[in-house]
Amino acid sequence: SSEGAVIKATPEGFSIASADKAFLLKLRGYVQMDGRFFESKADRSGATTFLMRRARPVLEGTLFHVFDFRLMADFAPNVPPLWDAYLEFRPRKEVRVRVGRFRPPVGLERNQSALNVPFIERALPTDLVPNRDVGVMVHGELLGGVLAYAVGGFNGTADGANADSNIDDSFDLAARVFAHPFRATDLHLLSGLGLGVAASRGNQFGSASTTGEAPLRTMGQQTFFIFRTGAGAGQTVMAHGEHTRISPQGYFYAGPLGALAEYVNSTQEVNLGEQHARLRFEAWQATATWVLFGGKAAYEGIKPTDPFGAASGGWGAVEIGGRYTELDVDPEAFPVFADPTVSARHAKGWGAVANWYLNNNVRVAATYDHTTFKGGAVDGDRIPESVVMSRFQVSW
């Protein structure tokens, strides 16, 4: 019966929809089980461990054709329960209005789904851009998809962090323009080229309990930079003033090849008691990937053409890749705002990855990341971090 309701149970997911697709509910989710294996036992701060990296149910859908919603939680340990929760009104491709909690349009790799990022952990520029924030965003695609734009007002987050509420009375503005200049031309080889620039600006005024600052982490998810904190008044560094970010970014996908690069400059005014400074953090990364067989490279992820488990008896797709990434802390941060024996002033790392996308739903990945530091130890430089990570991922 059900008056023509449409049910789907496919590699692309499970859903219920009305016959005219005006009402649609997708029942999605994903789970990532990782292993982290650190090389140098004596000095590493991370423990070799298995861990549930993400365990996320997702409810999303459409109401009355033009309203979309999304609710995504995460049950993994030590993360906030809420990730995405928004309502989007999309009368047309050119104008979409989104309100709620979602990713501000700043970091390029940060805005790629955790399901599709080629490496197990994102590169260092992600330390400097917002993760999730609450706000209002207008976005859309112009000129038949050649130009995408997004501009929104948000609470404002510390670098690399989430924000549940505003810590001051000012909202942050974030915006991005991103072009696929050859998408509408006959130069098909270049149709996968995307170039853009994103920026954010706002004021952050922290307090002793909510400093407005977040630690910086390596690819192995270990803290390598943290501002000074203390019990007494004037012993904790707080965000105090303007916070701006600018990020030129781009990618290129052509057949089996993929490349993604981004640079982020984040400048934040901070206070420690009477002392004030305007500190600049910079990071960049370049990632290149190659699909050996079974699919095409894409920012939106690889769809194996010959999936494992299907009647055709395929083997899915295999992708390999490498990357290089650096992060620079403002030298002015030391020694007043950060302890040079604890926090590094520079990190650079390279990594390699192999991904086996068995099918649309199952992925097995392994990465190696090697990161070296300047400063950050009592006697000079923090010990380099060498970490092998593994991931089993299922999504539906």
3-state secondary structure at position 4: helix
42 forms part of the interface with a copy of itself (CB under 8 A): no
197 forms part of the interface with a copy of itself (CB under 8 A): no
Selected from 111, 112, 155, 200, the binder of a copy of itself by CB under 8 A is: 155
Provide the 10 A C-beta neighbour count for residue 370.
15
313 forms part of the interface with a copy of itself (CB under 8 A): no
Selected from 78, 209, 231, 274, the binder of a copy of itself by CB under 8 A is: 78
Distance (Å) of CA 80 to CA 77, 84, 131, 161, 390: 8, 11, 12, 11, 23
315 forms part of the interface with a copy of itself (CB under 8 A): no
Tell me 356's DSSP state. Answer: E
Q: How far is the CB of 327 from a copy of itself (least distance, A)?
A: 25
d(CA 55, CA 394): 10
Selected from 39, 43, 45, 49, the binder of a copy of itself by CB under 8 A is: 49
Pick between residue 46 and residue 250 the one whose CB is nearest to a copy of itself.
46
Tell me 307's DSSP state. Answer: -
304 forms part of the interface with a copy of itself (CB under 8 A): no
Cβ atoms of 104 and 56 within 8 Å: the answer is no
Residue 13 identity: G
With b for 16 or more beta-carbon neighbours within 10 A and e for fewer, the 30-47 pattern comes to bbbebbbebbeeeebeee
Residues 361-390 that bind a copy of itself (CB under 8 A): 361-362
Selected from 17, 148, 297, 347, the binder of a copy of itself by CB under 8 A is: 17
d(CA 387, CA 371): 9
Q: How far is the CB of 329 from a copy of itself (least distance, A)?
A: 28
Stretch that binds a copy of itself, among 234-242, 253-261, 290-298, 358-366 (CB under 8 A): 358-366
Stretch that binds a copy of itself, among 237-245, 289-297, 305-313, 327-335 (CB under 8 A): 305-313
Pick between residue 108 and residue 358 the one whose CB is nearest to a copy of itself.
358
14 forms part of the interface with a copy of itself (CB under 8 A): yes
31 forms part of the interface with a copy of itself (CB under 8 A): yes
3-state secondary structure at position 190: helix
Tell me 122's DSSP state. Answer: -
Which tokens hold the place of 205? 């005024």
Q: How far is the CB of 260 from a copy of itself (least distance, A)?
A: 27
